[in-house]
Structure 1
Amino acid sequence: MFAKIRRRLLLSYLIVLSLILGGFAIAVRIVFTYSLYKQQTQKLAALAQFAAANVEFENGRIKIDNYLRQNKLLTNHQGLHWFDTQGNLIVKKGSDTFDLSIPLTEGEQVNTIDKNRIQSVTLPIIRKNSKQTIGYVRASQSLEEFDETLKKLDLGLCGGIFVALIISSVGGVWLTRQAMQPIEKSFARLKQFTADASHELRSPLMAIKSNAGVALKYPAGMRETDAEKFQAISSATNQMTRLTEDLLFLARHDHVPSHSRETVNLSAILENLVQLYQPQAIAKQIHLKSHLMEKLYLLGDTNQITRLFTNIIQNAIYYTPSEGTVEIIASRSAADILVNIQDTGVGIATKDLENIFERFWRADKSRSHNSGGSGLGLAIAQAIAQKHGGLITVTSQLEIGSIFTVHLPAIPLNQC
């Protein structure tokens, strides 16, 4: 039980940490991308301004001085293009990878050419004297290095998150154990108290039951009303005895020694239980049927396995109305034994299914009747199944019925 809680705590912790780290990584990437892109845009704008400022206009034509080295532009994966006012190319320098068909648009833009992203900044060339626009200059640069830098950043962030989660999972295991220790100790003390109290209650309950039984056996001189009171005392004592026995079992079921297990013939147990409860079913006008596969063997405690199915069958008969049906179907797969106990009873609401194996729990409608039971029958059945490496599942619909499925590990056929 606590192992499951520890796993849920650890999973919740890792999910929250993943969301925090993921949000942090996204924020870092956005800020870094914006800063890097803005920095590159500013560099291109500065290059375009420099190229525009050093243009001369002679005889109605733009003259480009050879002040920018071709190899420097190539090294930086940059290119410069000068255009006249009609958008016709005059001179180009730098990389030849930039397609000249890019529309001449003043300002900053990004275009994709042959799967390569190209960033460009276009500025007007203004004549100093007349302030007249005499052409345009476009500075371009490949975003390949920019994208590669972002890929490295993504790889680093993802790798950092992965490593952080691994380290955190190791630390989380230790933290959850530390956090659960006080709870486990308190639960252990509570179980011990329950076991001790249940054990100590046995003797006084037995004394009350014995004296009430003697009084009822020799009613001479006893008034009729007194006999009714003693009968009520005896009935209440029986109910309290069953409750203490159930509590004692639940408090101690984790400590059943493994060497007490033996080969259990489940087919024989189920057949005996069907015969045992057939008179009760007939008295209530319920059809109790069974379809049992032969040679269903498992390792376990015969008394506990018998108690497991007794609780479920009693439960099915009690909550099935007259003319209803209770059917027991037992089969096996390669490694498991499957036993379905299905009834046409009052059923259980879907929202209540996850609670039916809780101790003392009763549904508002289908379990609200005063059955005289302790409310621990299904909890005990589930505890026994889990102790034997199995599990009980249930499906149900209101006013239609329920199907309890018991999964238990089977002994291989060649070992039976």
Structure 2
Amino acid sequence: MKIGYRFASLYFVITLIILLIFSLSVYFGMQRILLNTLDENLRFVVDSVEENYDPATDKFEYMDKEPEEADPFLEYYVVIYDVSGRPIYKSAIAQKVSLKLPLSDRQTTRGRTTRITVKEAVQWVHPDRGGEITFRAFNRKIYYKDRQIGWVTIARPIEGIDESLNKLAFVFSIAILGTVILIALGSYFMTKRVLFPIDIITRKANQISHENLNERIRNVRSNDELGALAATLNGLLDRLQNAFESRRQFMADAAHELKTPLAVLRAHWEEELNNPVLSMVIKEKLTHDIETLSRMNHLINNLLLLSQTENLQSNFTFHPVRLDSIIQEVALDASVLSDLKSQTLRTEQLPEVTIQGDRERLYQLFFNILENAIKYTPENGEIRILAERKDETVEVTIQDSGPGIPAKDLPYIFDRFYRVKKDRSRRTGGSGLGLSIARLIAKAHGGRITAESKTGVGSVFKIKLPVTA
């Protein structure tokens, strides 16, 4: 998961937890306040019961009232007991509903919540769909001048409180849902905005390679840690560019310094080959040395080409060239090498296409890849060359039946001086520069090279180049 999503998710979860804690705190706090208010109301009713006691008759003044509308406790469950625990008064609700509270609770003054089933319709009582209703009730002793005159059990339905709490819960649910959506969107866009400079840095860093070290990370104007990171990476790129420039300059200088003495040696030994005084043994040694000097000169030329990476195109001469003609010429010259190993070299499907390019460099591109295929294809093996035009590009495929390239080495075969197997490169005389140079030439022509390979089956190189006609 991306760090932006992790930050947004963490912020979302923390905020959601805070909202839930706040909502639950408010909900249960409001529930406690409403129940305490109801308890206070019930205690007030109990106090009124005590005040309406008539010691002369040992009764309460409203006990003898018959009409239900005259009952002062229409909304309440009220049962008055004498000191022996015998009920002497029941309100209208108490006559139809029985709250069987434990005897020990009759001495409490703090309300408790109890839920019972109502079997018949009762005024002021509105049971739920299950026929149940919740009461807030408690028992208390009643006194007259410090003399206990009985007990009172009092209760009241709390559907009003439940309704208020349900509305509050609904409001909180809607508020939390809306807030969560806003927080999710806000955290996503805020995180994306905060991490936008990192995206810039990442994209730019992925675009920079040894071939364009002059690129720098721009558009990060932040003065915080991200700005410092961009500045640090730019400083690192400066040092890398200086190191690569030093290496490139060393390669160019060394190649230039070596070309002259090698040319002098070759000219001297070629002249000595015409000396009739020398024996055949000496002449054979000189011929071998001249071939070695040729290989060294070829390597030096490759190093010079690699040292000109930045302004490579300026050293090329571009003009319209027939690509099929170049491929046929390369195949003809390479057939001398393939014949030495009794290999079959076939050219197939070469359409007549014209591209804008440097004929000499394009020859070098295809010859390097074909030579590489010949080197690593065993005797009596087969190498195929074919081309196919696709819209505005032409794709040239060179396929061999060699040992293949291991998957772990395939991503690095175009790197300079990279060798799949060093012992194999020694036997074939490779320097590890041929494919690197081929890729540079293809890139300079606006094309690219890809490679596919299976161990024990062979390799396939595909060169894509833009066409002009």
> Normalization by structure 1: what TM-score?
0.74
- Aligned with 1:159 (options 189, 202, 206): 189
Alignment deviations for residues 3-62 of structure 1 (CA, whole Å, 9 cap, x no partner): xxxxxxxxxxxx9xx50x433333332222222211211222122222222142542489
User: Following TM superposition, by how much is the alpha carbon of 1:128 offset from its aligned partner in structure 2, in angstroms?
Assistant: 5.7
Q: Which amino acid aligns with 1:341?
A: I
Alpha carbons of 1:223 and 1:24: their partners in 2 closer, same or farther (altered >3 Å)? same
- Aligned with 2:410 (options 343, 348, 353): 353
User: Following TM superposition, by how much is the alpha carbon of 1:101 offset from its aligned partner in structure 2, in angstroms?
Assistant: 5.7
SS of residue matched to 1:406? strand
Q: Are the aligned partners of 2:334 and 2:367 in contact in 1 as well (CA < 8 Å)?
A: no
Write out aligned runs for 1:344-383 (5 A): 344-364=401-421, 367-383=424-440
Q: Which amino acid aligns with 2:21?
A: K
Aligned to 1:111: none
Q: Are the aligned partners of 2:113 and 2:137 in contact in 1 as well (CA < 8 Å)?
A: no
Q: Are the aligned partners of 1:355 and 1:361 in contact in 2 as well (CA < 8 Å)?
A: yes
Aligned to 2:448: 391
Q: Which amino acid aligns with 1:147?
A: L
> Is 1:312 aligned to 2:369, yes or no?
yes
Q: Are the aligned partners of 1:319 and 1:366 in contact in 2 as well (CA < 8 Å)?
A: no
Mapped to 2, the partners of 1:349 and 1:272 lie a distance apart of 31
Q: Which amino acid aligns with 1:86?
A: I
User: Following TM superposition, by how much is the alpha carbon of 1:352 offset from its aligned partner in structure 2, in angstroms?
Assistant: 1.0
Aligned to 1:247: 303
Q: Are the aligned partners of 1:300 and 1:388 in contact in 2 as well (CA < 8 Å)?
A: yes
Mapped to 2, the partners of 1:392 and 1:47 lie a distance apart of 73
Aligned to 1:59: 78
Mapped to 2, the partners of 1:242 and 1:288 lie a distance apart of 24
Alpha carbons of 1:347 and 1:369: their partners in 2 closer, same or farther (altered >3 Å)? farther
Alignment length, in residue pairs? 355
User: Following TM superposition, by how much is the alpha carbon of 1:362 offset from its aligned partner in structure 2, in angstroms?
Assistant: 1.3
Q: Are the aligned partners of 2:351 and 2:389 in contact in 1 as well (CA < 8 Å)?
A: no
SS of residue matched to 1:408? strand
Q: Which amino acid aligns with 1:127?
A: F
SS of residue matched to 2:321? strand
Alpha carbons of 1:322 and 1:146: their partners in 2 closer, same or farther (altered >3 Å)? same
Alignment deviations for residues 291-314 of structure 1 (CA, whole Å, 9 cap, x no partner): 133321111111100100011111
Aligned to 2:245: 188
Mapped to 2, the partners of 1:104 and 1:58 lie a distance apart of 15
Mapped to 2, the partners of 1:90 and 1:171 lie a distance apart of 74
Aligned to 2:208: none
Q: Are the aligned partners of 2:270 and 2:290 in contact in 1 as well (CA < 8 Å)?
A: yes
Write out aligned runs for 1:105-254 (5 A): 125-127=136-138, 129=140, 138=162, 139-140=165-166, 141-142=169-170, 143-170=173-200, 173-174=217-218, 175=230, 176-218=233-275, 220=277, 224=281, 230-231=286-287, 233-254=289-310
SS of residue matched to 1:285? coil
User: Following TM superposition, by how much is the alpha carbon of 1:169 offset from its aligned partner in structure 2, in angstroms?
Assistant: 4.1
Alignment deviations for residues 184-231 of structure 1 (CA, whole Å, 9 cap, x no partner): 23212321221121112100111222233333442625694x556545
Mapped to 1, the partners of 2:26 and 2:117 lie a distance apart of 23
Mapped to 1, the partners of 2:466 and 2:131 lie a distance apart of 74
Alignment deviations for residues 234-284 of structure 1 (CA, whole Å, 9 cap, x no partner): 343222211111100111143232883100110111112222223332332
Mapped to 1, the partners of 2:131 and 2:440 lie a distance apart of 76
Alpha carbons of 1:237 and 1:101: their partners in 2 closer, same or farther (altered >3 Å)? farther
Alpha carbons of 1:354 and 1:171: their partners in 2 closer, same or farther (altered >3 Å)? closer
Q: Are the aligned partners of 1:321 and 1:345 in contact in 2 as well (CA < 8 Å)?
A: yes
Q: Are the aligned partners of 1:356 and 1:378 in contact in 2 as well (CA < 8 Å)?
A: yes
> Is 1:22 aligned to 2:5, yes or no?
yes
Mapped to 2, the partners of 1:91 and 1:228 lie a distance apart of 126
Write out aligned runs for 1:252-331 (5 A): 252-255=308-311, 256-257=313-314, 260-331=317-388
SS of residue matched to 2:419? coil
Mapped to 1, the partners of 2:453 and 2:353 lie a distance apart of 26
Structure 1 residues not aligned, in runs of 5+:
1-14, 65-81, 94-98, 106-121
> Normalization by structure 2: what TM-score?
0.67
Measured on the aligned residues, the alpha-carbon RMSD in Å equals 3.6
Alpha carbons of 1:318 and 1:168: their partners in 2 closer, same or farther (altered >3 Å)? closer
Structure 2 residues not aligned, in runs of 5+:
43-75, 80-89, 94-111, 142-151, 203-216, 219-229
Alpha carbons of 1:379 and 1:324: their partners in 2 closer, same or farther (altered >3 Å)? same
- Select between 152-161 and 166-175 the one with higher mean Cα deviation: 166-175
- Aligned sequence identity (%): 25
Aligned to 2:24: 41
Q: Which has the higher contact order (CA 8 A, sep 6+)?
A: 1
Tell which structure's C-alpha radius of gyration is larger.
Answer: 2
Mapped to 1, the partners of 2:306 and 2:116 lie a distance apart of 92
